[in-house]
């Protein structure tokens, strides 16, 4: 699980930038998931790994770009579960509605 965090003021004032970032993330994920040869070569060079390793690992990563609004339930379930052990891990309160930015596209 990973996330993209942007200041609320940026999200509100530059929706076109937010949309462009999301478009680029989706395109990059699609290229990786398609095992695009240029993408595989770039990743192998960046991380000093054989291309065969990158090619085997990517499908297992289940790379996907999910808008915050769609990921909210799963994320809050995750926080609730770890909160059963220690709610201080995430500040003892679930994020407010403003934490989840609207996809402007």
For the chain, what percent of residues have pLDDT higher than 90?
83
CA 49 vs CA 2, 12, 35, 42, 101: distances in Å: 22, 40, 15, 10, 35
Can you give the residue range of the structural domain that contains 75? 66-105
The model's pTM is 0.77
Helix (H, G, I), strand (E, B) or coil at 91: coil
Rounded distance between C-alpha atoms, residue 82 and residue 39, angstroms: 35
Q: Name the residue among 104, 20, 29 with its Cα closest to residue 68.
A: 104
Residues 45 and 89 in one domain: no
Residues 60 and 74 in one domain: no
- 19 occurs within a structural domain: yes
Residues 61 and 14 in one domain: yes
Q: How confident is the model at residue 6 (pLDDT cuts 50, 70, 90)?
A: very high
Q: How confident is the model at residue 1 (pLDDT cuts 50, 70, 90)?
A: confident
């Amino acid at each position: 699980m990973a996330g993209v965090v942007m200041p609320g003021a940026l999200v509100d004032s530059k929706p076109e930038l937010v949309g462009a970032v999301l478009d680029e993330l989706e395109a990059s994920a699609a290229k990786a998931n398609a095992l695009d040869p240029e993408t595989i070569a770039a990743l192998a060079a960046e991380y000093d790994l054989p291309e065969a390793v990158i090619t085997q690992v990517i499908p297992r990563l289940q790379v996907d770009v999910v808008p915050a609004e769609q990921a909210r339930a799963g994320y809050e379930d995750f926080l609730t579960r770890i909160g059963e052990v220690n709610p201080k891990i995430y500040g003892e309160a679930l994020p407010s509605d403003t934490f989840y930015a609207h996809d402007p596209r």
